[in-house]
Amino acid sequence: METRISGSMFQKARKVIPGGVNSPVRACRSVGCDPLFIKRAAGASLFDVDGNEFLDFVGSWGPMIMGHAHPAIIKAICQAAQDGTSFGAPTPAEIDLASLVVEAVSSIEKVRFVNSGTEATMSAVRLARGYTGRKTVVKFDGCYHGHADSFLVKAGSGVITLGIPGSPGVPEDIVRNTVSIPYNNLDILEKTLRNASLEIACVIVEPVAGNMGCVLPAPDFLSTLRALTRVLGIVLIFDEVITGFRLSYGGAQEVYGVSPDLTCLGKIIGGGLPVGAYGGKAEIMDCIAPDGPVYQAGTLSGNPLAMAAGIAALKLLQKQDFYNELDRKSAWLAGRLQDIAERVGLSVQINRAGSLMTLFFTSEPVTDFTSAIKSNTDLYGRHYRQMLSRGIYLAPSQFEVAFISAAHTIDDLEKTAEMTEWSFKKLLEI
């Protein structure tokens, strides 16, 4: 595969951008290659600057559930742009997108738009602290809630990928106010939440973890979390930046039947433009300025182009049977990969929730951070490079998910399965 132009762009980028990238996982260090520079994308395909075409399973890390450059979304963005790109004042589209979100997600009575998932989680935690008057945030090892200070303790995504234990620059006081406990461990959960001396304001959780690879909640994990937080007056925050509008139109909370106090959204609700949101019970949301004292603001919040893209995306997702169809396709691919692994004799774990999936190179079930990091990341790196050489673009880290979109056809998935079989056999040759 020719990657000369990407290679020279990466050298140029490294001179003016730290690491040559604007988000660390994209540097592809853990899979042992340099990043490709992308020129354009359409449907399930990505095209790089050297003219290579790839079947894309990153989907911009989640937003592209309809595939790239969907005509209805592009049209909505172009139409909105004709009328101006930012006003710093309320627009009708903000009410439309907010109403769609409130109708879709049953626990959300009011919603505030921001510009990214990180802004959403950071603002939701401030709100929880302001509402409860308490200080401590409880999170789970290997979950990732963006890069705000309180969340980098034992975090997933790029923090695990690069093996960084936390981050310099996060003050000790902040670390002291964040408690990180194992995902799916009910005993530790109960002991921690019942420890009154911690003064816990909120628990934040990915209801299906997507940043240590895909890790599903154990039966009773989310319902126990809900019951305990309710009794103890702790605000329960679901980070649905990945799962929102992905696992179903009502998110993971609809699938698992557990209703949080606050929900963070991002990715899909922006239709590929930068949007985040946090919402929940009116009683809590009304503590935000200007109605209440908890401050949060943003020049580009509710941006008209982003709102138009989000509205168009959500309308497409209302199509009858959309999520069942996506789930069927994803289950088909997971089943094929499982069969192939068994047939060739390679020990892997395939974790899947709807159209989110991770193939872990380990023989033990992956249920939390400790089991996720037992995966053989060297093998993942080789698999990644082999798949890339055959036109399949996977996440450049063992600890991320594959995103399947409506644009992937069964032929695309069959091709992916064939290439996976070839790659697995090659891995076993050495």
Active site residues: 144, 239, 267
Q: Which of 30, 45, 123, 157 binds ligand HOZ (CB under 6 A)?
A: 157
Q: How far apart are CA 79 and CA 75, in angstroms?
A: 6
Stretch that binds ligand HOZ, among 5-13, 21-29, 244-252, 272-280 (CB under 6 A): 21-29
Q: Are 25 and 400 in contact (CB under 8 A)?
A: yes
DSSP-derived 3-state class of residue 200: strand
Residues 178-217: x where in contact with ligand HOZ by CB under 6 A, - otherwise, as a string: ---------------------------------x------
Q: Does 25 interact with ligand HOZ (rule: CB under 6 A)? A: yes
Tell me: does residue 23 bind ligand HOZ (CB under 6 A): yes
CB atoms within 10 A of CB 85: 12
Give the residue with the Cβ less far from ligand HOZ, 117 or 250.
Answer: 117
Interactions with ligand HOZ, residue window 389-428 (CB under 6 A): 400
**In the complex, least distance from residue 160 CB atom to ligand HOZ, rounded to whole angstroms:** 10
Q: Could you tell me the two tokens for 17?
A: 């951008």
The total of other beta-carbon atoms located within 10 Å of residue 391's CB is: 16
- CB-wise, 140 or 424, nearer to ligand HOZ? 140
Shortest reach from residue 393's CB to ligand HOZ, in Å: 13
How many residues can be counted in the chain? 430
Hey, which residues between 55 and 84 contact ligand HOZ (CB under 6 A)?
A: 61
Cβ closest to ligand HOZ, residue 24 vs residue 381: 24
- Please state, as a whole number, how many other Cβ atoms lie within 10 Å of the Cβ of residue 197: 6
Cα separations in angstroms, 375 against 61, 160, 365, 380: 21, 12, 10, 8
Give me the half-sphere count of Cα atoms (radius 13 Å) on the Cβ side of residue 100.
26
**Which residue type, as a one-letter code, is found at position 289?**
A
**Residue 424 tokens, joined:** 């697995």
Q: Which stretch binds ligand HOZ (CB under 6 A): 2-10, 18-26, 308-316, 338-346?
A: 18-26
Q: Which residues bind ligand HOZ (CB under 6 A)?
A: 23, 25-26, 61, 157, 211, 400
